[in-house]
Structures are given as structure tokens and as C-alpha cells.
Chain A
């Protein structure tokens, strides 16, 4: 689609040689690999690209949805998702599989989201920044037509940033408390409490909205 070369243009000889060198000797069915197997291919230079593509295929939609829930704006979500996977590519060789791959990527995504918000609105707090998202939400045409979904998203904008982060990770992304604790470096008890408060607030908001 993007890198299609016209048929009548012959590639330079140097490029051909390079491609031949980089072509793996054995073709591997990456979609069938489990997480540990996939991680092992990150450290093999000839398979790194394919392994990264597989990682992208598995996590791109999830990360995009997570970032979109946090930032609301489609363009912002696109930019942050792109930044997340660039960071993943840069640190792929340093990932040793000590934590789950998903936890690692979600952690990068959370950090990138916070950095993005800091850069975008340096003058205000995260919690205040949430309130500005209500306007973005109301102007978004791509949002689902289901009223309850839109209402929930609006209610999320009124939550403090930390509570929103925990809620989104737990409610929409289905991450376990243990994974979120590892990701956010907080205790499970504090997370449960935070999630409980968030749920109560959202239920009140949904009743009012």
C-alpha cells in the first residue's frame, strides 16, 4: 500500500543484498507463538522486525483504545499510540520478560499519556485537564451512538486522573489488580479502594447526567 515499488523500477544491487541477508532462513508462524516465545525472538536480530510486527498486531488496538479512553481526542490518541510503539521498538532488546508483556506496554502507554498531558497543558493539573475533555467528547462525531456509553465517558471526565486511570485499566482493559499494581507501582488495596470510589462516583454521575 505504502511501500509498493513500481514493477519497472529495479532495486539497487546493495538493497537486494541487504534484503537477502535479513531474510530469515526459517519462516516462523508468529501468530501462533505464546508470549514467552515471542519475547525470545526480540533478541534475535533477523527476527526482531517480524516479532515487533506481531506485537503490534496483538497490542495496537488495545493500546489505542486505552489511550483514546484516557485522552478522548482521536488525533491525540493516534499520536500517543505511535509514540508508545516507537518506545517499545527502542526498548525491545532490553525487555527480559520479567514482567508480563502487556503490563510492560501498558506502563509505557500510561507514561506516554501523562507526558503528553503535561506537554499539552503544562499550566493546569491533570484533574482540571479532564474537564476540558468533556468539550472534546461532545464535539466527537465518531463516538458511539449509544447514549449510555457516551454518558459513561462523560462521567469519566469528572473523575480525578488517578481514579480514571485505574478505572479504565480495570473496567475497559480487564487487567487484574496485580497487573495494575505492578504497572502503577501501588498496592492492591489502594487500587481496590480507588476503583471502588471511581465506580461509586460514576454511578452517581450517571444518575445525574
Chain B
């Protein structure tokens, strides 16, 4: 018996060892395949015409809503919509799918990466839109959302829906529903003007005879901050309200009273703002709390310090100083400590603009007799041009999604505003009809 047990035990041990050793040896890892990108830079989106589920025909035609959505989606450089001819599935949404669908292969075969389906319904003058966004490769729903707006405003509101869809696809919300503030001379004086991100719907935001400069946005887009030069007064900071929660007029008139206030910039969180003022002649930077109770001087130098731009986390401020003999970009902590020079190339660098992701600072640099737009990383290690042209390109400002920059340029004689992708591609002129257009400030996402 004992002998038998011993043999059985050995047999068991050997068999197990062989069973373990065999597969383990067979599982030699395959070598790694490194995949590099091809030329595909845009998601291919099949955008269905939304089905009308209302009791009667909606006053907003589904095709009109679809075109508004298409324009909003394609505002983002990495989105293209497919033509109906490419659809292997239905052009119109018959019904919204739940958490599952079985026709993903059809959409894949049609060349789509993403499918957008939706239905609309109009009741009492309000349109309810429900959408579903599908990754047809994995056949999973990325977004299910509903929106309710007055019928008259829905086509414009469609941009926000499109921006949400872009966010679901790419991880970064689109910016088609944002606006751009700038200084325009189209009415003779220098006023703050506004336009939509695609260059449409241009209108003035200020009136009066004073000269306006340096428009900036209040957090959340609730108002515009700008500098006004009123005859007989020091330059001051003013607010044009876009919300009832914001008071229009002079901003914190008691702060730095009697001193010029050349320019202001709210931190991204809205708790404080950086102000350019001057004591004893040279411009210096101050940090002021939103209620005006705390004022802290950030720079102490006989040189000029101007053009503050906050990092997206509100921890640092980029600015321009000529303490080294020529205007250069510097960075400091938001409490004024740890000042360090960022740019060492070029004899005149100014107008820094910190990117929304914090990774880059755009600025203008003088090349010969004109300016180009360059980017530099906040450590100062890497810099390169985004826009180069024999004429001057100035005052860059980032779109809130960080995909684009807007700047003013004299490349066609008078100053116009141009938009360019962060890659330096797709340069587009946005202002066309009269006057000089300068100091663009791309607004935040609407609340």
C-alpha cells in the first residue's frame, strides 16, 4: 500500500510539474508592436436627422436643427460628419436606443467612428431634444442627454449640444458656443465688441466717447472687464455686465484710488484679479481680492511690469517686464514670489497668454520690424512659432478648449482678427467689415 501511494504521489507530482511547465514555457510573450499614427486626425461622426416625436410637426424643422448641430460639431478641428450617402443605417432616428443596440456593425461598415442619434418634441413653444452618442466600434453609448429650450432659441443653443457631444467623444468640450471680445474701431471710437466664435453675430458691448482697451472676461462669462481712458481722468477699470448678478460700471473705484489702473485680469477661479497700476511712474502688478478688501503689491522694481496672465490653476502669473533691459516674459507665483525669466530669445517679447491646460504660454515676439506668435512651455525649455508672417501678428488669446488661438494681424493692411489651430494649421480670418480689430479675448465656456 505504502509503495503504491509513493508511486501515485510521484506520478501526481511529475504530472503537475509537466502540466505547469508546458504552458508556462509556451507562453513566451510576443514582441511589442509599436503603432504610429496615420493621417487620420478627425473622428468620423454619423449625425442622424432627429425624429420628431411631438404631437404635431415642430416649428423647428429637424433638418435645420441637424445643420446647426453639424456646424457646431465641425467647429472642432478633430470632428468631421459623414454624408448621408455613407450611411448604411437609417438617415433619421426612428427611436432612441437604450443602453444597447445591435446595428453598430452597419455604422462601422459605413466608415463611422461615432453615431449621434436624437429625437425632438415641441410642446407649448418649447422644444425638448434628447440625444444619444454612440461609439460604434465598441458599441457603447458615450452620452445620453436631454435639453429643453424655447423653440426660437434652440438653433443657437444647438451649439452647446454640439459642444457636449464633442466632449463625450474627445474628452474636451467643444468651443463653438463661446464668444470673443475685442476692441473695434468700426464706429469711429475704440469700443469693446463681441462676436461668436465662428466670427458671426458681431455687436458692440460698450458705448461712449472714452477710449477702450484690454478687454477681458469675468469668470463664467458673466461680464467683460476693460480699461477706459476717460478725458481728464486716470485710466480705470470698468465692467460691462452680461448677467444680473454683475454690477456694471467702474470696478472697485476705491482700490488704488488716484492711481492709473491700466489693465486687469481675473484669476480663473474669480477670487481675485491682477491689476497693472503704477506707483512713482513705473507700472507694477498688484493682486486685489474680488471685494477689494485685500490689495497686495506683487512687483517691486523700477522697471515696467505689465500684461498679467494667470495660469489655469490660479497659482502663477505670467507677465512682461523690462527689468533685464528689454521686454521679456516672466513668471511668478500668485503671491509675487519666485519670479523667473522665461524668454531669452528675441529682443521684445510681450502679451503672454497661458493655455487652458497649463502646458504652454503664447506670446508675441518681435522679428525684425514685426511680431510673430510663439509658444513657450512654462519651464522655458521649448519654444516655437505658431504663426509667422512678414506683417505683425499680436495679442494671442486661447479658446477655452485649448484647441485654437485668436490674434490680431496686419497681414491685409488694417488689423483683423485671425483664428488658428494650436498646430498652426487652418488659419481663418474672422473680422471683415471695417475698422481696426485688436486685443482679442476668447471667452470662457458659457454657464
Genuine A/B complex: no
Q: Chain A residues in contact with chain B, CB under 8 A?
A: none
